[in-house]
């Protein structure tokens, strides 16, 4: 687990958070703890939340390497329950909350988690291993119409109908159980497209399934208003998204809060990674950060 997750837009997050010694902050998507560590180093107190138990275990094992670890509270849970989690840990009024909505490098690089078409493994995709439905369940049970809707809405893919038909045809022959099975079903190496186009299409298919399995968009919609209520005056709410569906929710929600007079949007346009950061961490390329300040 040594390469768990490289934090995205770290300098920008810290600049907007303006960490104050002794103040409380929530990292709602702890991952490898990159953002949380820097907040701790600056004297902040952090509640670290992650739906993936592997992330919590990883941070606990890093205890000796994390400065001011005694100021960190760790909880496994879904950020849609951020209000309850905060209350149970005495983080009812906080100065900042971070949502880094990207899937972690560790999750992508772990074949047994089934998040990547580039890694052969079981078609799982559950961030919380306690969830009952896996990606394999969806591709083997959903009707053609349901699959089409899933890929067109959550994958924003115009070829959704074609992929849905191919999956239906493939599963008639044998159950789709692995990442390779799915890649082969939707076209795989036989798909008449460039390597770049094939990768783009498979990425969309896997993205749509991951969002569906983990109910990511609804969780985000539930979490943002709860996070707003937890913020103290002048508190900052930071959201880093990695695809347009998430970014649209964050943008519209922040603009609605502004219209309601709850505060101001500090980022007129989303903050994106510098060229240097993208060269060091290719997975940061699609990141967009928006910041809201409560009044």
Strand order in the sheet with 24-27: 72-76, 45-50, 24-27, 94-100, 231-241, 288-294, 263-265
pLDDT in tens, 241-295: 999 999 999 999 999 999 999 999 999 999 999 999 999 998 899 999 999 999 9
CA neighbor of 55 nearest in space, from 90, 105, 89: 105
In terms of pLDDT, which residue wins out, 109 or 266? 266
Tokens 């972690």 appear where? 104
pLDDT of residue 44: 98
Q: Does domain 116-214 have CATH number 3.20.20.80?
A: no
Q: How far is CA 211 from the centre of its chain?
A: 9
Residue 109, pLDDT score: 86
Kindly state the average pLDDT of the residues 102-109: 84
Which positions ≥6 away from 92 have C-beta within 8 Å? 86, 230
Mean pLDDT value of segment 165-190: 89
pLDDT band at 103 (very low <50, low <70, confident <90, very high): confident
Q: Indicate whether 190 pLDDT > 60.
A: no
Enter the DSSP assignment of 228. H
Between 17 and 157, residue with greater pLDDT = 17
Cβ(151)–Cβ(211) under 8 Å? Answer: no
For 10-106+216-294, give the CATH class: alpha beta
Q: What rounded mean pLDDT belongs to the chain?
A: 94
39-46 mean pLDDT: 98
CA atoms of 224 and 210, how far apart (whole Å):
20
pLDDT-based confidence at 1, cuts 50/70/90?
very low
Determine what percent of the chain is predicted with pLDDT higher than 70. Answer: 96
Cβ 66 vs Cβ 59: under 8 Å? yes
Domain ranges of the chain: 10-106+216-294, 116-214
What distance in Å separates the CA atoms of residue 19 and residue 177, rounded to the nearest whole number? 46
């Amino acid at each position: 687990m040594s390469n768990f997750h490289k934090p995205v837009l770290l300098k920008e997050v810290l600049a907007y958070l303006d960490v104050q010694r002794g103040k409380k902050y929530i990292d709602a998507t702890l991952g490898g703890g990159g953002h949380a560590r820097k907040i701790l180093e600056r004297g902040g107190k952090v509640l670290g939340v992650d739906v993936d138990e592997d992330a919590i275990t990883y941070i606990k094992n890093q205890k000796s390497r994390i400065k001011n670890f005694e100021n960190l509270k760790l909880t496994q849970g879904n950020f849609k329950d951020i209000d309850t989690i905060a209350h149970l840990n005495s983080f009812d009024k906080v100065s900042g909350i971070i949502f880094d909505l990207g899937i972690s490098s560790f999750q992508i690089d772990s074949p047994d988690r089934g998040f990547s078409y580039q890694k052969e493994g079981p078609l799982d995709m559950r961030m919380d291993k306690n969830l009952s439905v896996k990606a394999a369940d969806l591709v083997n049970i959903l009707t053609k119409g349901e699959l089409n809707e899933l890929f067109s809405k959550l994958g924003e893919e115009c070829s959704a109908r074609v992929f849905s038909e191919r999956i239906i045809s493939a599963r008639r022959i044998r159950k789709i159980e692995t990442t390779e099975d799915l890649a082969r079903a939707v076209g795989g190496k036989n798909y008449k497209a460039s390597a770049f186009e094939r990768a783009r299409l498979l990425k969309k298919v896997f993205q749509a399934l991951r969002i569906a399995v983990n109910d990511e968009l609804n969780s985000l919609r539930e979490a943002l208003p709860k996070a707003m209520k937890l913020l103290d005056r002048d508190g900052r709410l930071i959201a880093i998204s990695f695809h347009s569906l998430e970014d649209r929710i964050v943008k519209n929600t922040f603009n609605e809060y502004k219209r309601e007079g709850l505060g101001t949007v500090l980022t007129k346009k989303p903050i994106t990674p510098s060229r240097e950061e993208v060269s060091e961490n290719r997975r940061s390329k699609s990141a967009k950060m928006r910041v809201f300040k409560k009044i």
